Amino acid sequence: MKDELSGRRALVTGGASGIGRATALALARAGADVAITHLSHDASAVVAEIKDLGRTAASFQVDLRRSWDVDKAVSDAASMLGGGIDILVNNVGGPVERRAVPAMDDAHWHGVLDLNLSSAFYASRAALAVMPDGGRIITIGAQAASSGGGTGMVAYTTAKAALEGFSRALARELGPRRITVNVVAPGFVAGTPLHAAHTPEPAQRAAVSASPLSRAGAPDDIAEAVLYLASDGAAFVTGTVLDVNGGAYFT
């Protein structure tokens, strides 16, 4: 898919590590200029790699739970990219920590929903102000939305399931503008901050065993799915969830 996205302008939230990093680099290799957001991870190496590919690149430090900060970051990214955003990848998210419902206070509940769900809403709303017709919005969901997730993941699973409904509704709303809206739902992906922090080794081994392919996913596996949905070949794909989990369903 080299140069298939030449001339396109992409914004990847949480693009400094894990799936976001792999996605930003995949889009750049396909010809897109790429801006990324980051908060706690250093984005300088990713920006340098994108520039080494001959693409325009920049990073913006922003807390995507704050709508006013998101509005500014998206506006600044669009300006840097030449006045618009053709591809938005909503990648930011995570469970914060595992917490059972009886021990869950309001702050945890709202914090997890804001990190995973509100962030995608804020970024999508801001991007639509600068996205031309025929654009792409791709959100990173989770297998947990279908399987129910693991112990202590109710808030996270709820947010990821809500993202699927949000994306389907937005796909309907944006259909007249030929803007497609889709979700990529990863299963267990090794080498990401999420699983390093929140998935114990026994659970990681169990996830691999549950896959007919007998391996963990890699960030590049998810990036390739995003790349497809961003391509012209996916112009008739909208309002769908693309499962990328090695065949491990409802585990």
Active site residues: 156
C-alpha to C-alpha distance for 163 and 171, rounded to whole angstroms: 12
Q: Tokens at residue 170, please?
A: 């937005």
Which residue matches tokens 């065993």? 209
**Residue carrying structure tokens 């947990």:** 144
